[in-house]
Chains A and B, each alone.
Chain A
Amino acid sequence: MRFIPHTPEDVRAMLATVGVASVAELFADVPAALRERARLDLPPGASESAVRARLESLAARNPGAACLSFLGAGAYPHFVPAVVDQILQRAEFYSAYTPYQPEVSQGTLQAIFEFQSLVAMLFDCDVANASMYDGASATAEAVLMALRVRPKRRKVLVSRALHPQYRQVITTYLEGAGDVEVIEINFDATGATDQGALAAALDDGTAAVVVGYPNFFGVLEPLDAIVTAAHARGAVVVSATAETLALGAAKAPGTSGVDIVVGEGQSLGGALNYGGPGVGLFATRSEHVRLMPGRLVGETVDGDGRRGYVLTLATREQHIRREKATSNICTNQGLMALAVTVHLSMIGRQGLRTLALTNLQRAHAAATALCATNRWTRRFSGAIFNEFVIAGSDARAAVDAARGRGVLAGVPLGTWYPELDDSVLVCATEIHAESDIAMLAEVLR
């Protein structure tokens, strides 16, 4: 077996040292009744070339990966500079683990410290953690944290314009977390959370208000107003950004006073990979840092006074606090956090803005082109980033017809929102050329 080095000679020598006659003897503690039934009914092993051929044939049966696509809805196609993957393929990074021994893990630790710094700046927050699994579970963890910040309150208001899968994960995580009441707040004609409905639902029992930014419809919620309303009743505000690139051009949630800012970082250096791995981003104010889930890297010095980095404030975590921990997270998404760090270092201060504005421009160009067909209208009036909702008759049939012509034109919304059965969510990014947008309008005509 090519990954296992032991020759028959090695095995004999090792058995002799251990003092047993055979490998089977090592398993004497396992009841015979279990051993007798344990044979694996799997095919025999295969060579590297055979494995590769099999996987290539499976990859070839994903024609969707090669289609012209305008699918977004939480996973976004973006350009990634070649340097990013070159670094991700450094085995020194990918074959290490959680940096428990900092003296020989400074690469991982400094990169995470840079990641935390970048996320904090991007969100305009005091402090960010070392990453979460994805945007959806980060949002659920943010809700749990909000309940720790406001321990006497048991009500959570969740915008219906937040990504439906994020809402589902919040529901899953809250099951069993005590009697927490989740109230969904509808959206209005702008595509943003209905301010009147929010104001009516807010009371002194409200622990948290949760909104998307941009939300599922691509609309940038009026965070200033939401924060003002929520803080007036003492509620914590959580914002979730599925398309983090938006923050290269749009005001940061932290600037609006959002208390816990979370997001999905796949847009920043990650491939689509059928939706995973992504990377959850999580940031908050300094005063809440000990209530925050996940790992944290901090700066310190070594015995010679040289600067270095270590995992810190671990007393919040499961391996120290066990059932009293702020979360059960152990492994997070370290390598994806590295991807974000390298990507943002490559894109840089001006590039991030340029890239974000390009997305803004392409999405508006696509919306304009679709409305010019006279078949479609914009469903919502709110400001968007790189995603928008169009409405028209036979929306689903139109998307199916486009698929027949090799174009994935968007995500029909009827599945998640019965009242939006006539609507499609369309995403355009910097990868879409003018000719791609013309093609979209052509197939959706």
Chain B
Amino acid sequence: MTEPVRKQAGLLLEEPLIFERSRPGRAAFALEGEVESAEQLLPTELRRASIDGFPEVSEPEVLRHFLRLSQWNLGTATTFYPLGSCTMKYNPVVNEAIARLPGFARLHPLTPDELAQGQLELMWELERCLAEVCGMDAISLQPAAGAQGELSGMKMVRAYHVERGRARKKVLIPASAHGTNPASAALAGYSVVPVEGNRVGLLETDAVRRAMDDDVAALMITNPNTLGLFEREIVQIAEVVHAKGGLVYLDGANLNALMGIAKPGHMGADVLQFNLHKTFSTPHGGGGPGAGPIGVRASLMPYLPTPRLVRDGNGIRWSEAFPQSIGRVRSFHGNAGMHVRAYAYILALGGDGLTLATQMAVLAANYIRRSLESTYHVAVPAVCMHECVLSDKGMEAHGVKTLDIAKRLLDFGFYAPTIYFPLVVSGALMIEPTETESKETLDEFIAAMQQIAREARESPDTVRNAPTRTPVTRLDEARAARRPVLRWRRESGVVSRES
């Protein structure tokens, strides 16, 4: 017997694991007809009994279980979610309905092209729109996420060099880059050479020139960078890289700062990835599915993943006829359901709307930065782009750290910014408000941050012991890593706590 469920406060209810709700013989699903005899269609050695431990729960209980779990989550739909570098903008509800239209949702990926012309036109048009936004010559929608887009892009860089005689060995990456950049470069077979930024965190042409030789395959650069600053020397930097035969990979994670303002293709970028779940409003889904299309300049076009869309008098079709391609990075045609949502978003905003989104995102970030610069240390006290970076500098005296500030924000009903990133700022808090948050919301967040700073001075334990108004209090992450329990197990009827 399990203990009776213990209620928490108000609307927050405790909820056991679905396996603990199971009772032998309960079920939420049945089919007509008798099928047990079908087991004989399998050879004896391949048969399997029903799976011990699998849920046995009725439909109302399944629904209640997952509804309760949902209520333990914050998301952009419920609150301000200023997770820096992730561009947590509003996900338009209509896009969820559109993606579920049977014409899209029930379409099999191997449907003959002539019976899927609507889907292909959508993808064709989305490619054109993305190319326009970033100033590139061609797009592949195949990669499943930003990191897979990076990997695809770096594999194309490799293919480009291999075809010109040798793959080269190194990739230059600024110290402020996302971790995915060095990991993607390594996965594509390159060693990583870090390049330091200047005093304010910008990359300087001279630093790139010093690091650049004919063994460098590419520079991977994020623009705006992870400090929220536009890399002012990007055009000259790209020229230096190109002069030595290298390529420029631009991480498009921060594209929400650039729409209608500057195009990576004009900056000298040869290849970039888009994160449709950031810039183009497709849901983040608690960690996916995202979508990470890539854009390239003409020189890299032959290496794009296959199949690629081609158009002729008979309509649009998939073609594999690209012998220099890096090949496939995933099955079928990418996260097509996300392509539908991103296209609907671009249609809704149009060119002017996308530009306005960028302008308001940048205005909001600067509004937060200016409003908090007298309370918190700002990493770079200058106009920023779509995000700003604060730190816990000056809080040490009260024994309060960035982690504590983040946890205290949860008590105020906000999600926390990205913390301890970028690595170039000690104790960083990376705040990205996006364009979809109202001034009132920003003001509430600013007020909460100011109150936390006051608490840090006057009653630091309030901050150090946070959160206290959440479904659970601060979780012991060290214990989780020290004694990993990674799944539920039933052993002789007793719930086990060990993996």
Contacts and interface: CB of A to CB of B under 8 A. Distances in A.
B375 to A, nearest CB: 14
Interface string B232-258: 100100000000000000000000001
Contact of A276 (B188, B334, B415, B421): B334
A87 interface: yes
Contact of A348 (B35, B55, B107): B55
B102 interface: yes
A106 B72 contact: yes
Interface residues of A, number: 203
Contact of B475 (A4, A308, A355): A308
A249 B71 CA distance: 35
Interface stretch (B208-216, B279-287, B294-302, B451-459): B279-287
A19 B467 contact: no
Contact of B73 (A28, A56, A104, A364): A104
A421 interface: no
Contacts of B235: 31, 33-34
Interface stretch (A198-206, A231-239, A320-328, A435-443): A320-328
Contacts of A313: 481, 484
A5 interface: yes
Contacts of B91: 91, 94-95
Contacts of A264: 331
Contact of A99 (B18, B36, B108, B286): B286
Given A59-B118, A300-B476, A313-B484, A345 B65 contact: yes
A45 B107 contact: no
Interface stretch (A131-139, A148-156, A372-380): A131-139
Given A83-B28, A331-B145, A348-B27, 17 more contacts: A3-B349, A26-B363, A26-B366, A52-B97, A67-B115, A91-B93, A94-B77, A96-B74, A107-B70, A171-B327, A255-B48, A276-B289, A322-B183, A327-B183, A338-B286, A345-B28, A351-B31
B438 A168 contact: no
29 contacts: A3-B281, A5-B437, A40-B352, A51-B98, A56-B98, A74-B109, A89-B96, A90-B67, A91-B76, A97-B81, A104-B471, A106-B72, A116-B487, A175-B159, A176-B187, A271-B106, A272-B105, A275-B332, A289-B486, A297-B486, A300-B476, A310-B480, A317-B179, A329-B147, A330-B145, A336-B288, A342-B66, A348-B57, A408-B115
Interface string B12-35: 000101110010001111110101
A314 B39 CA distance: 42
Contacts of B319: none
Q: Which 7 A-B pairs have the closest CB atoms?
A: A275-B332, A59-B103, A275-B109, A176-B189, A61-B118, A335-B285, A64-B115
B349 to A, nearest CB: 5
Contacts, number: 730
A327 B347 contact: no
A6 to B, nearest CB: 5
Given A93-B70, A273-B337, A14 B144 contact: no
Nearest to B348: A51
B132 interface: yes
A318 B331 contact: no
A337 B287 CA distance: 10
Nearest to B382: A29
Interface string B140-168: 00001111101100010011000000010
Contact of B436 (A5, A44, A105, A332): A5
